[in-house]
């Protein structure tokens, strides 16, 4: 079980969190303008790298805030989370 670095609460047990998948996938500004293929790409396809991966977490049983962080998918090590003021990676 991981210790997830919440930028507001500090490191907390993984069971307090919900995983949110890849970070930085913005909701398209005009979904209607997208082809089926482009919409499906947004909807279903995500990167799956070995190594550093920017991902979203939700501190559901804590401060209930979403945040982005970077985790190594091979070692599970989190990069230090930016402070809340520094924005997202």
Partner 1 sequence: MTARRTPSYGPEIDRAKPISFTFDGEEVAAFVGDTVASAILANGIEAPFRSPVLGRPRGVFSAGVEEPNGFVEISEPWFEPIVAATMVDVVEGMVVGSRPGVGRLRGDAPRGRRVEHRNAHVELLVVGSGHDGFYPARDAAARGERVMLVEQHRTIERGAGGDFRAEGVTYLTRATALGLYDDGYVTVFEHADELDRLWHIRADRVILATGAFERSIAFADNDRPGVMLSYASSRYLEHGVLVGSRTVVFTARGGAYATASNLVANGGEVPAIADVSGTESDLGDAKDAEVLRGWVASGTEGDRWLEAVHLEGPGGARRTIECDSLLVSGGWDPNLALWRAIGGGLRFDDEVHAFVPTDGPPWLSVVGSAAGEVPNDAPYWFVPSEDYSRHFVDFQRDQTIADIADTVDAGLRSVEHVKRATYIGTAIDQGRTSGVITAEVVNALLGESPGWQGPSNARPPAVPVPFATLAGPFRGDLFDPVRTTPMHPWHIERGAAFENVGQWKRPWFFPRDGEPMERAVERECLAVRTAVGSMDASTLGKIEVVGADAPAFLDRMYTNRMSNLAVGSIRYGLMLGLDGMVLDDGVAMRLADDRYLVTTTTGGAATVLDRFEEWLQTEWPDLRVYCTSVTEQWAVVAINGPRAREVVSATGTDVDLSREAFPFMTFHDGNVAGVPARLARVSFSGELAYELHVPAWHGLEIWEAVMAAGTPFGIEPYGTEAMHVLRAEKGYVIVGQDTDGSVTPHDLGMDWIVNLSKGDFVGRRSLRRSDVVRPDRKQLIGLFPEDTHALLPEGAQLVLEDTGRMPMPLAGHVTSSYRSPALGRTFALAMLAGGHELHGRTVYAPLPEGTVTCTVTSPVPYDPDGARRDG
**In the complex, which residues of this chain contact partner 1 (CB under 8 A)?**
1-3, 13, 18, 20, 26-27, 31-32, 34, 36, 39-40, 43, 56, 58, 60, 64-66, 75-77
Q: What number of other Cβ atoms are within 10 A of residue 55's Cβ? A: 20
The CA angle 82-57-14, to the nearest 5 degrees, is: 105
Phi/psi of residue 36, nearest 5 degrees: -55, -40
**Least distance from C-beta 50 to partner 1, angstroms?**
14
Please say which residue, 26 or 83, places its beta carbon nearer to partner 1: 26
Please say which residue, 48 or 75, places its beta carbon nearer to partner 1: 75
**Least distance from C-beta 27 to partner 1, angstroms?**
5
Phi/psi of residue 42, nearest 5 degrees: -65, -40
């Amino acid at each position: 079980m991981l210790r997830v670095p919440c930028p507001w609460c500090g490191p907390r047990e993984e069971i307090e969190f919900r995983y949110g998948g890849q970070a930085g996938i913005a909701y398209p500004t005009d979904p209607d303008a997208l082809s089926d293929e482009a919409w499906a790409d947004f909807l279903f396809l995500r990167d799956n790298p070995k190594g550093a991966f920017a991902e979203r977490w939700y501190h559901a049983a804590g401060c209930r805030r979403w945040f982005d962080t970077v985790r190594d998918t091979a070692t599970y090590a989190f990069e230090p989370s930016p402070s809340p003021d520094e924005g997202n990676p």
